[in-house]
Amino acid sequence: HLDRLTSMANLASEYHKDGKFASAEKLREELLQLRKKAIGEHHPDKLTSMADLGSTYYALEKLESAEKMLEEVVVLLKKVIGEHHPDTLASMANLGWTYHELGKLDSAEKLKEEVVVLRKKIIGKHHPDTLTSMDSLAATYHSLGKLESAEKLEEEVLVLRKKVIGEHHPDTLASMANLGWTYHELGKLNSAEKLLEEVAVLQKKIIGEHHPDRLISMASLSTAYHSLGKSESAEKLEEEVLVLRKKVTGENHPDTLASMANLGWTYHELGKFNSAEKLLEEVVVQVLQKKVIGEHHPHTLSFMAGLAAAYHSLGKWESAEKLEDEMLVLHKKVIGEHQDDTLTPMASLGSTYYEDEELESAEQLKKKVIALPKKAIGEYHLDVLTTMK
């Protein structure tokens, strides 16, 4: 009977490794119930089943289920095998990532810091698991806006990974990409450009030009080019990324749409307004009519804003007005009328009314914009003063 349970566990692990997460979930849920009956609540194998199921929930983006399962298993593992056991630390690390993905960044930071300290003590700072934990903590620092802390940790991880697993290991390249992006966010644009260019070349050789990690690094590099005012370099890179995205993830994948939008905005920056309009219209149609990511997704509003800007630049005031009306409705639904982000489409729509000589509508909306931010963000906020001019 116990051999059968072991076979089930092995099969579930194979499903999980192969990305068959729904099959893994079903088998692991069944296995957990069987192990509870056969070996009891506190047996290490039963706790392993809980931890494995939590990982599968995470992979399926069932984050609340993952959180609940992993919180329970961490408490039990600390009691049964101790907080210094590698299995306990692994579950703590997984729970830390789950907190991160749920937006519980303070909880994620606290738990990840604990894991890093314990792993350094128990298995040493050069162990790959310790380096993974440090990398994970740096990501949370980044999300918390603690960029200097992220930079310091990422620089340390990169040095150690080069020593431990070599300069050309995919994890080392991932560390280079992460650090490059942190440099960008800190305004260290030349350092970001240099590191991200190096990563893009190495990843093409080592993991292949179609690998998702390389596409992310290329997108980061194009952003660095933008920030440095190298729009032509950004355009060339984004065109390459878009071709690869279509091959790898398909025409309708959210990542492909994001790449199309990025290229559309670059065309707009370069004054290629017709190309920008064509590409951004395609993105908005995919999002709104084919429901690829849904109208309430934050990216949808950004895509629409890009298209509205292209309409403005082409003098298509009626198209801009219609789109901005739609944007304003969505902004209020998603973000709320009094939020700072909602003021931008309201002000933009007001500008379109003026351009289209709908002066009465423009004045009414302008008064509303002026009144709202005084309540929401203060009378002397720069955006309010700009609107009032």
pLDDT at position 342 over 80: no
362 band by pLDDT with thresholds 50, 70 and 90 = low
348 band by pLDDT with thresholds 50, 70 and 90 = low
Question: In 3D, which of 197, 186, 123 has the Cα closest to residue 152?
Answer: 186
Q: What angle do CA 222, 227, 232 make, to 5 degrees?
A: 55
pLDDT at position 381 over 50: no
Phi-psi region of 378 (alpha: psi -120 to 50; beta: other; left: phi over 0): left
| Span 265-322, pLDDT tens digits | 999 999 999 999 999 999 998 888 766 677 777 788 888 889 999 999 999 989 988 9
**Token pair recorded at residue 103:** 């937006």
Q: What is the pLDDT of residue 336?
A: 59
Backbone angles phi, psi at 292, to 5 degrees: -65, -45
| Span 86-114, pLDDT tens digits | 999 999 999 999 999 999 999 999 999 99
Q: What is the pLDDT of residue 245?
A: 93
Whole-number average pLDDT of the chain? 86
Q: What is the pLDDT of residue 251?
A: 87
- Least confident residue range of 89-98, 110-119, 353-362: 353-362
Q: Summarize the confidence of residues 197-216 as an average pLDDT.
A: 94
Q: What is the pLDDT of residue 379?
A: 30
Return the higher-pLDDT residue of 331 and 369.
331
335 band by pLDDT with thresholds 50, 70 and 90 = low
- Least confident residue range of 220-224, 244-248, 272-276, 349-353: 349-353
pTM of the model: 0.78
Dist. CA 124–CA 305, nearest whole Å: 49
Return the higher-pLDDT residue of 49 and 387.
49
Q: Summarize the confidence of residues 134-138 as an average pLDDT.
A: 97
Question: In 3D, which of 61, 2, 54 has the Cα closest to residue 28?
Answer: 54
Question: In 3D, which of 119, 130, 121, 123 has the Cα closest to residue 156?
Answer: 130
CA 333 → CA 146, 283, 306, 314, 344, distances in Å? 31, 21, 19, 29, 15
372 band by pLDDT with thresholds 50, 70 and 90 = very low
